[in-house]
């Protein structure tokens, strides 16, 4: 369904305003290496505490495991943003051709 003339005018106006804003492209979501490192270290420490907590109490190990799950979810979300940023930098024909994936030797 094509856009009406009014909708096309509004769309052109929005595009023009975004082109005029020099900081628009820099406002994307950035992932901090420090945050990735801290989440990874926290995940490793949490796993150690989970295993060591079994010697103390089931409840200590269970609480540590819940913490590990929370850290894993946060780390996965950060890694998903990184993947999205890398995909957005590829040209559309690379997406269609699958150039972003390594090819197997035949």
Domain extents for the chain? Answer: 33-88
Confidence (pLDDT) at 15: 80
* 50 has a pLDDT exceeding 90: yes
pTM of the model: 0.55
pLDDT surpasses 80 at 26: no
Q: Which pLDDT does position 32 carry in this prediction?
A: 74
Give the pLDDT score at 7. 82
Instruction: Give yes or no for residue 69 having a pLDDT over 80.
Output: yes
Question: Does the structure show a pLDDT above 80 at 101?
Answer: no
Q: For residue 98, how many other CB atoms are within 10 A of its CB? A: 8
Provide CB contacts within 8 A for 85, sequence distance 6+. 28, 29, 31
Query: What's the whole-number average pLDDT of the chain?
Result: 79
């Amino acid at each position: 369904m094509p856009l009406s003339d009014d909708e096309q005018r509004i769309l052109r106006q929005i595009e023009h305003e975004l082109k005029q804003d020099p900081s628009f492209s820099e406002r994307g979501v950035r992932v901090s290496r420090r945050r990735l490192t801290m989440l990874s270290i926290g995940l490793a420490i949490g796993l150690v505490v989970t295993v060591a907590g079994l010697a103390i109490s089931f409840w200590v190990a269970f609480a540590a495991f819940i913490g590990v799950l929370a850290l894993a979810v946060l780390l996965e979300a950060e890694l998903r943003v990184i993947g999205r940023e890398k995909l957005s930098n590829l040209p559309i024909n690379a997406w269609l051709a699958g150039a972003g994936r390594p090819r197997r030797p035949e």
